[in-house]
Protein backbone atom coordinates (compact mmCIF):
# COMPACT_ATOMS: atom_id res chain seq x y z
CA UNK A 1 0.00 0.00 0.00
CA UNK A 2 1.21 3.48 -0.81
CA UNK A 3 2.20 5.30 2.33
CA UNK A 4 -0.19 8.16 1.65
CA UNK A 5 -3.26 5.95 1.19
CA UNK A 6 -5.32 5.12 4.26
CA UNK A 7 -8.13 2.70 3.30
CA UNK A 8 -10.19 3.47 6.42
CA UNK A 9 -10.18 7.19 5.69
CA UNK A 10 -10.87 6.60 1.99
CA UNK A 11 -13.94 4.51 2.85
CA UNK A 12 -15.14 7.17 5.22
CA UNK A 13 -14.73 10.01 2.71
CA UNK A 14 -16.35 7.97 -0.03
CA UNK A 15 -19.26 7.07 2.23
CA UNK A 16 -19.80 10.73 3.12
CA UNK A 17 -19.83 11.68 -0.57
CA UNK A 18 -22.31 8.93 -1.42
CA UNK A 19 -24.57 10.08 1.40
CA UNK A 20 -24.37 13.64 0.09
CA UNK A 21 -25.35 12.49 -3.41
CA UNK A 22 -28.28 10.51 -2.02
CA UNK A 23 -29.53 13.46 -0.02
CA UNK A 24 -29.19 15.78 -3.03
CA UNK A 25 -31.38 13.32 -4.93
CA UNK A 26 -33.91 13.45 -2.11
CA UNK A 27 -33.91 9.69 -1.57
CA UNK A 28 -33.90 7.64 1.60
CA UNK A 29 -31.55 4.73 2.18
CA UNK A 30 -34.58 2.43 2.01
CA UNK A 31 -35.51 3.74 -1.42
CA UNK A 32 -31.98 3.27 -2.73
CA UNK A 33 -31.84 -0.27 -1.33
CA UNK A 34 -35.14 -1.09 -3.03
CA UNK A 35 -33.89 0.21 -6.38
CA UNK A 36 -30.69 -1.86 -6.16
CA UNK A 37 -32.35 -4.95 -4.64
CA UNK A 38 -30.03 -4.89 -1.63
CA UNK A 39 -30.62 -4.48 2.10
CA UNK A 40 -31.02 -1.06 3.66
CA UNK A 41 -28.28 -2.01 6.14
CA UNK A 42 -25.82 -2.41 3.26
CA UNK A 43 -26.48 1.16 2.10
CA UNK A 44 -26.01 2.38 5.67
CA UNK A 45 -22.73 0.48 6.08
CA UNK A 46 -21.45 1.87 2.79
CA UNK A 47 -22.28 5.41 3.84
CA UNK A 48 -20.77 5.18 7.30
CA UNK A 49 -17.54 3.71 5.91
CA UNK A 50 -17.67 0.54 8.00
CA UNK A 51 -17.25 -1.78 5.01
CA UNK A 52 -15.23 -1.68 1.82
CA UNK A 53 -16.95 -0.30 -1.27
CA UNK A 54 -16.52 -1.98 -4.63
CA UNK A 55 -16.32 -0.09 -7.89
CA UNK A 56 -19.50 -1.87 -8.91
CA UNK A 57 -21.28 -0.44 -5.85
CA UNK A 58 -20.08 3.04 -6.83
CA UNK A 59 -21.19 2.57 -10.42
CA UNK A 60 -24.65 1.35 -9.39
CA UNK A 61 -25.13 4.16 -6.88
CA UNK A 62 -24.01 6.82 -9.36
CA UNK A 63 -26.58 5.41 -11.75
CA UNK A 64 -29.36 5.67 -9.18
CA UNK A 65 -28.30 9.22 -8.27
CA UNK A 66 -28.02 10.16 -11.97
CA UNK A 67 -24.50 11.52 -11.65
CA UNK A 68 -23.68 12.88 -15.13
CA UNK A 69 -20.26 14.42 -14.49
CA UNK A 70 -17.79 11.71 -15.45
CA UNK A 71 -15.06 13.42 -13.43
CA UNK A 72 -17.12 12.91 -10.28
CA UNK A 73 -17.70 9.26 -11.15
CA UNK A 74 -13.99 8.71 -11.87
CA UNK A 75 -13.02 10.35 -8.57
CA UNK A 76 -15.42 8.13 -6.64
CA UNK A 77 -14.18 5.04 -8.48
CA UNK A 78 -10.59 5.91 -7.56
CA UNK A 79 -11.58 6.31 -3.92
CA UNK A 80 -13.26 2.91 -4.08
CA UNK A 81 -10.04 1.35 -5.39
CA UNK A 82 -8.02 2.97 -2.59
CA UNK A 83 -10.55 1.90 0.04
CA UNK A 84 -9.95 -1.75 -0.80
CA UNK A 85 -6.20 -1.61 -0.21
CA UNK A 86 -4.71 -2.74 3.07
CA UNK A 87 -3.28 -0.63 5.87
CA UNK A 88 -0.12 -1.60 7.76
CA UNK A 89 -2.25 -3.16 10.51
CA UNK A 90 -3.62 -5.85 8.16
CA UNK A 91 -0.20 -7.52 8.21
CA UNK A 92 -0.96 -8.55 11.81
CA UNK A 93 -4.09 -10.48 10.84
CA UNK A 94 -7.51 -10.00 12.41
CA UNK A 95 -7.36 -6.95 14.68
CA UNK A 96 -10.69 -6.29 16.47
CA UNK A 97 -10.29 -2.50 16.46
CA UNK A 98 -8.81 -2.10 12.98
CA UNK A 99 -11.29 0.66 12.06
CA UNK A 100 -10.07 2.72 14.99
CA UNK A 101 -6.41 2.13 14.07
CA UNK A 102 -7.11 3.41 10.57
CA UNK A 103 -8.68 6.58 11.95
CA UNK A 104 -5.93 7.08 14.53
CA UNK A 105 -3.25 6.67 11.85
CA UNK A 106 -4.69 9.59 9.88
CA UNK A 107 -5.79 11.80 12.80
CA UNK A 108 -4.18 15.16 13.44
CA UNK A 109 -5.12 15.26 17.12
CA UNK A 110 -6.48 12.87 19.70
CA UNK A 111 -8.10 13.61 23.04
CA UNK A 112 -8.41 10.63 25.36
CA UNK A 113 -10.01 10.05 28.74
CA UNK A 114 -8.86 6.86 30.50
CA UNK A 115 -10.44 5.95 33.85
CA UNK A 116 -8.64 2.65 34.53
CA UNK A 117 -5.39 2.25 32.60
CA UNK A 118 -2.59 4.23 30.97
CA UNK A 119 -3.65 4.95 27.41
CA UNK A 120 -2.25 2.62 24.77
CA UNK A 121 -0.17 5.21 22.93
CA UNK A 122 1.84 5.88 26.10
CA UNK A 123 2.32 2.33 27.36
CA UNK A 124 5.66 0.61 27.80
CA UNK A 125 6.10 -2.88 26.37
CA UNK A 126 6.13 -4.49 29.85
CA UNK A 127 2.96 -2.67 30.88
CA UNK A 128 1.22 -3.56 27.61
CA UNK A 129 2.13 -7.24 27.96
CA UNK A 130 0.90 -7.41 31.55
CA UNK A 131 -2.27 -5.53 30.65
CA UNK A 132 -3.22 -7.84 27.78
CA UNK A 133 -2.44 -10.92 29.87
CA UNK A 134 -4.64 -9.68 32.69
CA UNK A 135 -7.51 -8.33 30.59
CA UNK A 136 -7.61 -11.34 28.22
CA UNK A 137 -6.53 -14.33 30.34
CA UNK A 138 -7.43 -16.91 27.69
CA UNK A 139 -5.34 -15.26 24.99
CA UNK A 140 -2.42 -17.30 23.63
CA UNK A 141 1.15 -15.99 23.99
CA UNK A 142 1.30 -15.51 20.20
CA UNK A 143 -1.84 -13.36 20.20
CA UNK A 144 -0.58 -11.38 23.18
CA UNK A 145 2.64 -10.63 21.30
CA UNK A 146 0.66 -9.62 18.20
CA UNK A 147 -1.47 -7.19 20.18
CA UNK A 148 1.60 -5.70 21.84
CA UNK A 149 3.37 -5.31 18.50
CA UNK A 150 0.35 -3.50 17.06
CA UNK A 151 0.27 -1.19 20.08
CA UNK A 152 3.96 -0.36 19.73
CA UNK A 153 3.53 0.27 16.00
CA UNK A 154 0.65 2.66 16.73
CA UNK A 155 2.97 4.63 19.01
CA UNK A 156 5.10 5.62 16.04
CA UNK A 157 2.58 8.38 15.33
CA UNK A 158 3.76 10.15 18.48
CA UNK A 159 7.28 10.55 17.11
CA UNK A 160 6.44 10.94 13.42
CA UNK A 161 8.75 13.42 11.70
CA UNK A 162 7.03 16.60 10.62
CA UNK A 163 3.52 15.49 11.52
CA UNK A 164 3.37 13.96 15.01
CA UNK A 165 -0.01 13.20 16.52
CA UNK A 166 -1.18 15.92 18.92
CA UNK A 167 -2.16 13.91 21.99
CA UNK A 168 -4.03 15.13 25.06
CA UNK A 169 -4.68 12.55 27.79
CA UNK A 170 -6.71 12.82 30.98
CA UNK A 171 -5.93 9.91 33.31
CA UNK A 172 -8.01 9.07 36.33
CA UNK A 173 -5.94 8.58 39.47
CA UNK A 174 -7.02 4.94 39.38
CA UNK A 175 -4.89 4.40 36.25
CA UNK A 176 -1.80 5.30 38.30
CA UNK A 177 -2.74 3.32 41.39
CA UNK A 178 -3.88 0.11 39.67
CA UNK A 179 -0.85 -2.20 39.69
CA UNK A 180 -0.53 -3.77 36.24
CA UNK A 181 2.23 -6.38 36.23
CA UNK A 182 4.16 -5.48 39.38
CA UNK A 183 5.51 -2.39 41.10
CA UNK A 184 8.65 -2.35 38.97
CA UNK A 185 6.54 -2.37 35.80
CA UNK A 186 4.43 0.44 37.23
CA UNK A 187 7.43 2.53 38.23
CA UNK A 188 8.95 2.23 34.76
CA UNK A 189 5.57 2.98 33.18
CA UNK A 190 5.04 6.13 35.20
CA UNK A 191 8.58 7.34 34.58
CA UNK A 192 8.00 6.81 30.86
CA UNK A 193 4.71 8.68 31.14
CA UNK A 194 6.53 11.67 32.63
CA UNK A 195 9.15 11.52 29.88
CA UNK A 196 6.50 11.49 27.14
CA UNK A 197 4.54 14.30 28.79
CA UNK A 198 7.52 16.61 28.23
CA UNK A 199 7.09 16.38 24.46
CA UNK A 200 5.59 19.62 23.10
CA UNK A 201 2.73 17.80 21.38
CA UNK A 202 1.81 15.51 24.30
CA UNK A 203 -0.22 16.71 27.30
CA UNK A 204 -1.02 14.53 30.30
CA UNK A 205 -3.33 15.53 33.16
CA UNK A 206 -4.37 13.55 36.22
CA UNK A 207 -7.95 13.57 37.48
CA UNK A 208 -7.66 12.96 41.26
CA UNK A 209 -10.10 10.94 43.34
CA UNK A 210 -11.07 13.92 45.49
CA UNK A 211 -12.79 15.57 42.52
CA UNK A 212 -15.70 13.24 43.26
CA UNK A 213 -18.40 12.79 40.62
CA UNK A 214 -17.40 14.04 37.18
CA UNK A 215 -18.53 13.83 33.51
CA UNK A 216 -16.27 10.86 32.76
CA UNK A 217 -17.91 8.37 35.09
CA UNK A 218 -19.52 6.54 32.16
CA UNK A 219 -16.13 5.35 30.99
CA UNK A 220 -13.29 5.69 28.49
CA UNK A 221 -13.63 7.60 25.24
CA UNK A 222 -11.51 9.28 22.59
CA UNK A 223 -12.11 12.20 20.24
CA UNK A 224 -10.26 12.07 16.92
CA UNK A 225 -9.85 15.18 14.77
CA UNK A 226 -8.44 15.38 11.25
CA UNK A 227 -6.51 17.94 9.23
CA UNK A 228 -8.74 17.62 6.18
CA UNK A 229 -11.88 19.71 6.58
CA UNK A 230 -13.81 17.02 4.69
CA UNK A 231 -13.26 14.60 7.57
CA UNK A 232 -15.56 15.23 10.50
CA UNK A 233 -14.40 14.51 14.05
CA UNK A 234 -15.16 11.07 15.52
CA UNK A 235 -15.87 9.94 19.08
CA UNK A 236 -14.65 6.39 19.74
CA UNK A 237 -16.16 4.26 22.51
CA UNK A 238 -14.47 0.90 23.06
CA UNK A 239 -16.66 -2.11 23.82
CA UNK A 240 -16.04 -5.73 24.81
CA UNK A 241 -17.55 -7.30 21.68
CA UNK A 242 -18.05 -4.25 19.46
CA UNK A 243 -17.03 -0.61 19.33
CA UNK A 244 -19.09 2.52 18.77
CA UNK A 245 -18.18 5.44 16.52
CA UNK A 246 -20.12 8.70 16.82
CA UNK A 247 -19.84 11.18 13.97
CA UNK A 248 -22.94 13.37 14.24
CA UNK A 249 -21.95 16.94 15.09
CA UNK A 250 -24.15 17.20 18.20
CA UNK A 251 -22.79 13.91 19.59
CA UNK A 252 -19.18 14.98 19.05
CA UNK A 253 -19.90 18.37 20.58
CA UNK A 254 -21.41 16.78 23.69
CA UNK A 255 -18.30 14.68 24.29
CA UNK A 256 -16.04 17.64 23.54
CA UNK A 257 -17.80 19.70 26.22
CA UNK A 258 -17.48 16.79 28.66
CA UNK A 259 -13.77 16.67 27.90
CA UNK A 260 -13.34 20.36 28.65
CA UNK A 261 -14.94 19.78 32.06
CA UNK A 262 -12.56 16.87 32.71
CA UNK A 263 -9.54 18.98 31.78
CA UNK A 264 -10.72 21.82 34.01
CA UNK A 265 -11.24 19.49 36.99
CA UNK A 266 -7.86 17.77 36.56
CA UNK A 267 -4.53 18.84 37.98
CA UNK A 268 -2.65 21.16 35.64
CA UNK A 269 0.27 19.83 33.61
CA UNK A 270 3.00 20.54 36.16
CA UNK A 271 0.91 19.34 39.09
CA UNK A 272 0.07 16.17 37.17
CA UNK A 273 3.72 15.51 36.35
CA UNK A 274 4.67 15.93 40.00
CA UNK A 275 1.83 13.70 41.15
CA UNK A 276 2.88 10.94 38.73
CA UNK A 277 6.46 11.29 39.97
CA UNK A 278 5.33 10.93 43.58
CA UNK A 279 3.38 7.73 42.77
CA UNK A 280 6.39 6.36 40.88
CA UNK A 281 8.61 7.00 43.93
CA UNK A 282 6.10 5.15 46.11
CA UNK A 283 6.41 2.13 43.82
CA UNK A 284 10.19 2.35 43.99
CA UNK A 285 10.05 2.37 47.78
The answer to whether residue 1 scores a pLDDT higher than 90 is no
Neighbour-count burial of 72, counting CB atoms closer than 10 A to its CB (0-12 exposed, 13-18 middle, 19+ buried): middle
Strands lying side by side in the sheet with 109-114:
202-207, 166-172, 109-114, 221-225, 234-237, 244-246
CATH assignment of the domain containing 70: 1.10.260.40
Same domain, 120 and 257: yes
- Same domain (yes/no): 133, 254: yes
Total domains present in the chain: 2
What pLDDT digit, counting tens, does each position of 205-223 carry?
999 999 999 999 999 999 9
Same domain, 109 and 240: yes
221 & 107 share domain: yes
- In this structure, the answer to whether residues 102 and 230 fall within a common structural domain is yes
- Tell me the whole-structure pTM to 2 decimals: 0.78
Over 60: is that where the pLDDT of 5 sits?
no
Give the pLDDT of residue 2: 38
- CATH number, domain of 107, equals 3.30.870
Of the candidates 164, 167, 132, which has an alpha carbon nearest to the alpha carbon of residue 148?
Answer: 132
3-state secondary structure of 97: coil
Q: For residue 168, what pLDDT band results from cuts at 50, 70 and 90?
A: very high
- Bridge-partner residues for 207, per DSSP? 172
Quote the domain boundaries for residue 80. Answer: 7-86
User: 54-109: per-residue pLDDT in tens?
Assistant: 888 888 899 988 988 888 888 888 888 877 777 777 677 777 778 888 889 888 99
Residues 98, 82, single domain; the answer is: no
Task: State whether 212 and 116 are in the same domain.
Answer: yes
Nearest to 46 by CA among 33, 34, 35, 37: 33
Domain boundary among 32, 63, 86: 86
Q: Do 108 and 232 sit in the same domain of this protein?
A: yes
pLDDT band, very low/low/confident/very high, at 241 (cuts 50, 70, 90)? confident
Amino acid sequence: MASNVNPTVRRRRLGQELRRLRELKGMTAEEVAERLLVSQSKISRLENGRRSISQRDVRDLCGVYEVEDQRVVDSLMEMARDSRQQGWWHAFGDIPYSVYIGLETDAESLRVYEPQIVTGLLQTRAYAEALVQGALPETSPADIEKRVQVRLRRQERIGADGNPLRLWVVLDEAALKRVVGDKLVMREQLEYLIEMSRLPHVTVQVLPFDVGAHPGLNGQYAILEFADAADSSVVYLEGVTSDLYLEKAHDVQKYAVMYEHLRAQSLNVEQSRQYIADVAKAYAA
